[in-house]
Chains A and B, each alone.
Chain A
Amino acid sequence: MNYQLNEEEKMLQKTAADFANKSLAAVAVESNEKGEFQDDIYKQLGKLGFLGMTVPEKYGGVDFGNFCLALSIEQISRVCASTAVAISVHNSLTNWVILNFGSAETREKYLPLLASGEVLGAYALTESNAGSDIGAIQTSAVREGDNYILNGSKLFVSTGDKAGVVIVFARTDTENRKRGLSAFVVEPDFPGFSVGKPEKKMGLKASSTVELVFEDCVVPVANLLAEEGKGMLIALSALDGGRIGIASQALGIGQAALDEAVKFARGRVQFGRKIIDFQSTKWKIAEMATKLEASRLLVYNAARLRDSGDISTKHVSMAKLFATRAVNEIVYDSLQIHGGVGYTSEFLIERLFRDARALEIYEGTSEVQKLVISREVIKEYDRILPD
């Protein structure tokens, strides 16, 4: 299956696959077991250009776009989905937001550092009382002269303790739920910035997830993105890219789960037959492969739509909803084919099973995707049907 990849896309896919199979595979098992974040892997990814995939050349990036980013995340996730978390956040959230909403000065200051991988980017949106409901964000930003003073704390910040640049969403207007949010570029060196406790997660263990705490954190006015009150708009417009990233992780995990299932079933003998010869196994394999293929078409299409500049929100949410649900079914069936050993950490499927679970939750739960999709679909009908 070629998915109409052109020569560059094929080469990029091969580089991502080679990197995953060699460099990443060499450390993936251990770093997931120990829950260690692999700094060196990101240094290498930066050198290869994977951390500037949506950044133009003039800022030191390689503007391959969202589709190529999806291809890359898919290949990386086949081997280590944790590693793909930071790639996705860095490219489609941090870099993208600075590129689209930063001033010329902000772009020139931060994008070359980020695109080369010299520093990693993080994205601090979620709070204890503001998950899907970002209008409930309580972290405050108060202007004092040339600075904003931030107070509050953020949860579930991927790579928050490793990042050199964090996009922080805070409230500049306590009255207006929607238009009271603003976004800031924050460096960990700013006074009042601290890293809180790391989360003990079920999966994605080689990715670090921390709390960030802001206590009278001083952020220069120049680091405000766009203008005050644009926070909600920024958060929502970045989400499409982020969601493609998560959906692409689903493709990689799903592919690995299918690969593992077939490999295992070809070797495992029960009742004197290879279990791949049992109809119950074959049907599972058919279902898994079909779900994976459907997911891939949805995700690739959404990514290409976003690259073409068309409004892609509905397609992106459909891709994320479907692919992240499908991958959970795929890992379930793959583990079932493995039987007892699949429930042990000796086999890769055990990690895939845990990693897949996060995908239906972060960057918009499946329930939120359904809200988005239904809203878009009903809006389309509203436009053509009589009131």
Chain B
Amino acid sequence: MKIIVLLKRVPDTEAKILINSEGSGINEEGVKFIINTYDEYAIEEGLKLKENVGGDSTVTVVCMGPEESTEIIRTALAMGADNAIHICDAALDNPTPDMTATLLAKAIKNNGFDIIFCGKQGIDYDMAQTQAFLAEKLDIPQVNIISEFAISDDNKKAFLVRSIEGADEKVEADLPVIISCNKGLNEPRYASLPGIMKAKRKEIKKLTLTDLDSSGVPAEKDSTIIKWLSLPKSGECKIIEGEDFGEKVVELARLLREEAKVL
């Protein structure tokens, strides 16, 4: 079984994100970059599936992003992925979901695939679009934001639970399928020390736009960011004073009712 896992390099969740001095994007100085948080669940699910299915199953990590993405790719290999494809080209500057999906689709088709796992969204631009564009280009079904995954004995059908508002939605999907993973799906493993040793010897296939034949890739971007905005400064917090907690809650309830008018 050919298992594909999509990876993206993004700023750490703990990082403070500030706009750069030109106002054209974020200030990356001092920002730590990590594997997109949700992609870790995708890696884990891919590895678990490989372990369950056995045979000559492989987990191939596919990442599109700058040179520095090698670091997160190696981490995925150390976690247990078999090999990796890194689409990396200086000409790629914040590609749109359509562009990204077109290139990913080419690389994934060349490699072959039975199932694709990815994170439910990149925690940078938070668009959650690439998986749908990719599904459309590969002409396969998509199931998003899943919290449970199982596969039929003949490996032809996936049984999934996806999180929707206030409920779980059970979904059955035919393979090949692309699945976007949510937190809670599993507990991603750490890159073990033996895994780190082995990762050194695993292949990372680098592909440029020329290697991929960029026909069909939209030449122009279909949208542009015209302004970056910081959050408005939050107002002063009114710390409620009082002799004891009893007095404080009386005052808080009064303020919520009379001043904030939310009760």
Contacts and interface: CB of A to CB of B under 8 A. Distances in A.
A–B direct contact (CB < 8 Å): yes
Interface stretch (B44-52, B145-153, B187-195, B222-230): B187-195
B197 A14 contact: no
Task: Say what secondary structure dominates the interface of chain A.
Answer: helix
Contacts of B74: 7, 11
Nearest to A64: B193
A50 B193 CA distance: 7
A346 interface: no
A279 B74 CA distance: 44
A49 interface: yes
A19 B193 contact: no
A49 B193 contact: yes
A12 B193 CA distance: 7
B192 A7 contact: no
A10 B75 CA distance: 10
Nearest to A11: B196
A90 to B, nearest CB: 14
A299 B197 CA distance: 24
A226 interface: no
A15 B197 contact: no
B191 A62 contact: no
Given A12-B196, A62-B197, A7 B71 contact: yes
Given A7-B71, A10-B71, A48 B192 contact: yes
A11 B75 contact: yes
A49 B196 CA distance: 10
Given A7-B71, A11-B75, A14-B75, A19 B190 contact: yes
Interface string A1-22: 0000001101110110011000
Given A7-B71, A50-B193, 18 more contacts: A8-B200, A11-B78, A11-B191, A11-B196, A11-B199, A12-B193, A12-B196, A14-B75, A15-B192, A15-B196, A19-B190, A47-B192, A48-B190, A48-B192, A52-B193, A62-B196, A62-B197, A64-B193
23 contacts: A7-B71, A8-B196, A8-B200, A10-B71, A11-B75, A11-B78, A11-B191, A11-B196, A11-B199, A12-B193, A12-B196, A14-B75, A14-B191, A15-B78, A15-B190, A15-B191, A47-B192, A48-B190, A49-B192, A49-B193, A62-B193, A62-B194, A62-B196
